[in-house]
Chain A
């Protein structure tokens, strides 16, 4: 497997693949964090999570077009506006969905799964009708193009660095929200004991809605970040959903640190394997190993100790 490469080349390969893995890692983290909140804290299976991400991506696409035609001077910073709007759009849709659909199904998780799958089909068709079946891409601002050479054999793309920075930023923000804010305390209290949380005066319904909205909003930001590294089509979201759920389950539902650790493991394994095997085999082997480990250790890498 390593025959034919010199030691220097191998280092460069591992460094470059490792960096590609870091970008994939950031993508997984962004995708999985929203889901980790919704699934881990609320126990809701949101199969339409991918579609909330795609909504963020389409919002970014619209904002980018608007800036290009009306505010060309500010084009280099459109992305930050787009991210905020993506968060609001996905978050608002999420709260609407929670109110109309999810809150009626909290005690029937398997039914939630089917209902949100139906929702994802509807959203996909709406995207297809509105934006067309073809994939759309955004114009990346100039400062985000190109790459930084580190040594003469290793160079890193700037948009990848940006996505990584975003992933770190959002992880820190979520950590602060979950463990340092009033909302986070309420969410964790409800997760531990819903009835008692209600008894001490937490408005559980409102907290649920807000939690679901924030989870979806983060998905929107993730979708927004994806436009920097790839194009968006109506069914793009569906491609991510299995990976995302595996990342969350593998990490141990409810543990944000676990989600990040599992995203790291899966993405690094996949991208290093990808260089030596075909892309599909790398993915098959990674997923098989993850499923295999989950069969041996169903609670995931980092399990929270909770009373059922």
Chain B
């Protein structure tokens, strides 16, 4: 058994992979890309936060949330509200009928700042809200659902409905939220102009550092006892429960952690792209975020980052030149990833590429390590699991 190896924070192999990703994000991309493209990749990396959270929730825990866009949006809106208030000084908005409030409120005949906007005048409060609001929201959903042992497809459908509700609410309450355009025209962060090329480069690196912080946090969870319990719960939930563990608490924790990651990603999105809108909250973006994780490999946090970069890069390239092909390609990707390579890029790497590389350097590797674990059954009915695994292979 390799329990000993598994409890180490990083195996030597994983350390190499982390190093490679760090080299890609901190060296290769900034050196190879111009400022505009780098900002674009910075935007993609904000989705990677969500994908990492999904690897923990879905890949490890078997909880598929189709509402991660909600948390991404809550984090993003918390940041955007602060930036918008900073941009809406009485001097800058002197032409409005009520100076000093965000422009979209003025357009909607609102004459005073709503009370729940007030705290967002403070940067400290906003930064805390970026994490706390999504986590609190996830906690409420998690407690309500997991305590009652709702899981699997029901959980997926209900989180999707929540994403739909929040989108309708944001679009409907135009005066308070900016409506379908979202919160736009964000300029400075404490007087520092976030729209210049330099600022965007700095934000890219801030984003990258935060991403690695989240990666390490996720790695820590996976290596801890909690991580192994999550996998045990995914495969045989009842056995874990009968062993005396409080299954719901673990699920709530990992769901909240995923929400926190998503919130941070959303805030970094707002900072780098300069707006936040309901198009990043709803059903479609939420389910697209799942495909980022699935393409990268639902069991691999590093794979999720590569998957996010790859899918988004393909999306930008394809929709620039062949807009009608993109949806077909994305649809085919959903089907292919489920039918033919359920472990994603990470699975292809560890099942196909690595064994061949090992063979190439035979003699040094001293035998093959077992390939990656088979795809999770994701099956609500526990007794089916072994058969499901067989079917999945």
Chain B, residues 314-347, CB within 8 Å of chain A (1/0): the string is 0000000000100110111111011100100000
For residue B326, which residue of chain A has the nearest CB? A125
* Interface: A249 (CB within 8 A): yes
Which residues of chain A (76-133) have a CB below 8 Å from chain B? Answer: 101, 104-105, 107-115, 117-125, 128-129
Q: What CA separation (Å) do A221 and B283 show in the bound complex?
A: 26
Looking at B21-29, B166-174, B212-220, B266-274, the stretch in contact with chain A turns out to be B166-174
Task: Knowing A108-B379, A114-B290, say if A242 contacts B160 (CB, 8 Å).
Answer: yes
For residue B337, which residue of chain A has the nearest CB? A114
Q: When the two chains form their complex, are residues A101 and B153 in contact, meaning their CB atoms are under 8 A apart? A: no
Q: When the two chains form their complex, are residues B335 and A101 in contact, meaning their CB atoms are under 8 A apart? A: yes
Number of interface residues of A (CB under 8 A): 44
Q: What CA separation (Å) do A128 and B387 show in the bound complex?
A: 40
Q: When the two chains form their complex, are residues B380 and A245 in contact, meaning their CB atoms are under 8 A apart? A: no
Chain A, residues 39-52, CB within 8 Å of chain B (1/0): the string is 00001010000000
Q: What CA separation (Å) do A280 and B174 show in the bound complex?
A: 11
Task: Knowing A115-B339, A287-B165, say if A308 contacts B156 (CB, 8 Å).
Answer: no
Count of chain A to chain B residue pairs whose CB atoms are closer than 8 Å in the complex = 138
Q: Which one of B154, B324, B342 lies within 8 Å of A298 (CB-CB)?
A: B154
* Interface: B226 (CB within 8 A): no
* Interface: A295 (CB within 8 A): yes
* Interface: A209 (CB within 8 A): no
- 21 contacting pairs across A/B (C-beta < 8 A): A45-B153, A104-B339, A105-B338, A108-B379, A109-B152, A109-B378, A110-B58, A111-B342, A113-B156, A114-B334, A117-B334, A238-B284, A245-B160, A287-B161, A287-B164, A287-B165, A287-B168, A290-B161, A294-B158, A298-B145, A308-B380
* B144 surroundings in chain A (CB, below 8 A): 295-296
Chain B min CB distance to A239 (Å): 10
Q: When the two chains form their complex, are residues B391 and A107 in contact, meaning their CB atoms are under 8 A apart? A: yes
* Interface: B294 (CB within 8 A): yes
Q: When the two chains form their complex, are residues B161 and A245 in contact, meaning their CB atoms are under 8 A apart? A: yes
Q: Which one of A45, A111, A128, A291 lies within 8 Å of B158 (CB-CB)?
A: A291
* A114 surroundings in chain B (CB, below 8 A): 287, 290-291, 294, 334, 337-338
Chain B min CB distance to A72 (Å): 35
Chain A min CB distance to B217 (Å): 25
For residue A124, which residue of chain B has the nearest CB? B327
Interface residues of A (CB under 8 A from B): 43, 45, 101, 104-105, 107-115, 117-125, 128-129, 238, 242, 245-246, 249, 278, 280-281, 283-284, 287-288, 290-291, 294-296, 298, 308
For residue A287, which residue of chain B has the nearest CB? B165
The binding surface of chain A is classed by DSSP as helix
- Shortest Cβ-Cβ A-B pairs, 3 listed: A118-B334, A280-B172, A121-B331
* B348 surroundings in chain A (CB, below 8 A): none
* B335 surroundings in chain A (CB, below 8 A): 101, 115, 118-119, 122
Q: Which one of A113, A278, A294, A296 lies within 8 Å of B153 (CB-CB)?
A: A113
Task: Knowing A104-B339, A308-B380, say if A125 contacts B165 (CB, 8 Å).
Answer: no
* A295 surroundings in chain B (CB, below 8 A): 144-145, 148, 150, 158
Chain A min CB distance to B322 (Å): 11
Q: When the two chains form their complex, are residues A278 and B172 in contact, meaning their CB atoms are under 8 A apart? A: yes
Which residues of chain B (46-94) have a CB below 8 Å from chain A? Answer: 58, 62, 64, 66
Chain B, residues 257-295, CB within 8 Å of chain A (1/0): the string is 000000000000000000000000001100100110010
* Interface: B381 (CB within 8 A): yes
Chain B min CB distance to A278 (Å): 6
* Interface: B221 (CB within 8 A): no
* A105 surroundings in chain B (CB, below 8 A): 338-339
Chain A min CB distance to B336 (Å): 8
* A109 surroundings in chain B (CB, below 8 A): 152-153, 378-380
* Interface: B162 (CB within 8 A): yes
